Amino acid sequence: METKKIRIIYTSDIHGQLSGTNYAFKRKDLCGLTRISTYLNQLTDEVLLLDNGDILQGNPILDYSRLFLPVSKHPLPLLMNHLQYHYLVVGNHDFNYGLPHLFQMLDQIHATPLCANIVNKDHECPFTPYAIHKTKDGLRIGIIGVVTQYIPHWEKKEYIQDLTFLDAYETVKSLLPEVKNQSDIIVVMYHGGYERDLVTTLPHGRMTDENQGYLLSTLPEINVLLTGHQHSPQVHSLPQGVTLQTSLNAYDFGEIVIEYEKIDHSHHISSIHGRIIPNTFPEDQELIQLLYPYESLVNTWLDQKIGSTSMDFSIHDPLNPRAKKHPLFQLINHVQLSLSNAHISCASLPNNPPGFSNNITRREIMANFIYPNTLVKLQINGKILKRALERNAQYFSISNHQLSINSAYISPKLEHYNYDVFDGIEYVIDVKKPFGERIISFTRSGVPIHETDQFELVLNNYRASGGGDFDMFADAVVLEEYDVSLASLISDYIEKQKELNFELVNNFIVQY
């Protein structure tokens, strides 16, 4: 009787990080598929290679390729096919450019796309719900794919038109008997995270159905649960196996080693072990050569100067630009107000934006506006506005008598992007007050705002759809939607102005 082994290698939330290149800062980081390739090349065991979603968005090489290259020449399928991925799950960001782009890309990738909890208007799955993968020795691995059903809260309606996102947990639960009858071991690929800590069972942040990893982990038939979306690397043992989560941008990847014995025509699992592997391997030079023409084109494109400024647009930490008016927030709000003619604008920034240097390049635009957000104009009242301001005021905390960031915005997932700065009003946040009572003053042109006052608010589509638990905007009326990315708007504005110089409007105070 011989013990056999198969390794499952999985990536999640790659966000287009094909190589170790950090385009925002033009340096090499310890990340990327080119480094994972080196690890794969040294393995002698049989490998099952999986990707858990969010591959099509988040990197300048993807932006350049989408804008200027035919899909058949796109570097992402080139690398994924070279690495020989077997299966992938679609993530929420994979819908960011619409279904035609998504399906065109999937057509180029040899891996089978899995997703059981999405159905079209005919109640059919546009993706394969599950697959039964057989190893060389005949071990049957049932693989079910699901994605967070929260996508309609974020995505533009026309990009997911006629699609229904079913409950991921209920979908997996209903499929398990069918898959179990055909499998020796069951793997669930879930592009979502954990709603509870798997050790303490305490809630992870806000309890919504965005994440159901904890709930899925309670299903006894699942041997391997692969998660993502939260970008929080971790490994947990389950009574029947293991569950993992990677970080993002291929800074690490997951490995599950399954040992089994073949007795006659039956397979018996003897052990399942999982770990997260930091991606510190040298880059595969063969892949570097494949990518070289693309990287040269992208770097030339990104280094083009589009404007200049004598103001200090730099950002060195997440707290200061959110606690005191920063010119980048004001610039975003000014551009949004100019486009929409709304009364009020609110703007957010990603977790770690670098800001601008004195000579502003397209590279800096990409670094500061990593999401393909578009804009929406809403009709709101003073009550909705107050609720939104109170939601934002939760960002702050007090530590050792100093202003700090609420830990809920740091763990289990960095969420600095869920804080907004408003223009068109004046407001005061008192961090000493309890949640829901921190906005002690809010006015427009010095006049107090009442609950029934009516305003037009312009904001990004993620926030307008309730993203970040801004569910108060669900009560607002959509007046207009603007089908142009915020990154493009800012870039066009700077190219037109050439020189950015304006007076800061210090319209809000954070006191503690």
Q: For 210-266, what is each residue's pLDDT tens digit?
A: 999 999 999 999 999 999 999 999 999 999 999 999 999 999 999 999 999 988 888
How would you class 134 by CB atoms within 10 Å of its CB: exposed for 0-12, middle for 13-18, buried for 19 or more?
A: exposed
- How far apart CA 390 and CA 33 sit, in angstroms, is 41
- How far apart CA 384 and CA 375 sit, in angstroms, is 18
Two tokens, residue 62: 């993807």
Angle at 433 between CA 428 and CA 436, to 5 degrees: 80
Hunting for tokens 């551009």 — which residue is that?
A: 335
- How far apart CA 89 and CA 128 sit, in angstroms, is 10
Residue 50, pLDDT above cutoff 70: yes
Hey, which CATH number is domain 3-299, 3.40.50.620, 1.10.940.10, 3.40.50.2020, 3.60.21.10? 3.60.21.10
Residue 205, pLDDT above cutoff 70: no
Cβ–Cβ < 8 Å for 8, 43: no
What are the residue ranges of CATH 3.90.780.10 in the chain?
308-511
Query: How many whole angstroms from its chain centre is CA 8?
Result: 23
Nearest to 85 by CA among 59, 109, 114: 109
Whole-prediction pTM? 0.81
How would you class 94 by CB atoms within 10 Å of its CB: exposed for 0-12, middle for 13-18, buried for 19 or more?
A: buried
Look at residue 422 and give its three-state secondary structure: strand
Residue 22, pLDDT above cutoff 70: yes
- How far apart CA 44 and CA 222 sit, in angstroms, is 27
pLDDT computed for residue 1 by the predictor: 66
pLDDT computed for residue 259 by the predictor: 96
What number is the average pLDDT over the span 331-348?
98
What number is the average pLDDT over the span 470-482?
89
pLDDT tens, 437-446? Answer: 999 999 999 9
pLDDT tens, 376-401? Answer: 999 999 999 999 999 999 999 999 99
pLDDT computed for residue 322 by the predictor: 98
- How far apart CA 222 and CA 143 sit, in angstroms, is 10
pLDDT computed for residue 155 by the predictor: 87
What are the residue ranges of CATH 3.60.21.10 in the chain?
3-299
pLDDT computed for residue 154 by the predictor: 79
pLDDT computed for residue 206 by the predictor: 62
- How far apart CA 393 and CA 386 sit, in angstroms, is 10
% of the chain beyond a pLDDT of 90: 90
pLDDT computed for residue 429 by the predictor: 98
Residue 372, pLDDT above cutoff 80: no
CATH architecture of the domain covering 308-511: Alpha-Beta Complex (3.90)
Cβ–Cβ < 8 Å for 82, 113: no
Angle at 484 between CA 482 and CA 488, to 5 degrees: 140
Give me the phi and psi of 24, to 5 degrees please.
-65, -40
pLDDT computed for residue 128 by the predictor: 98
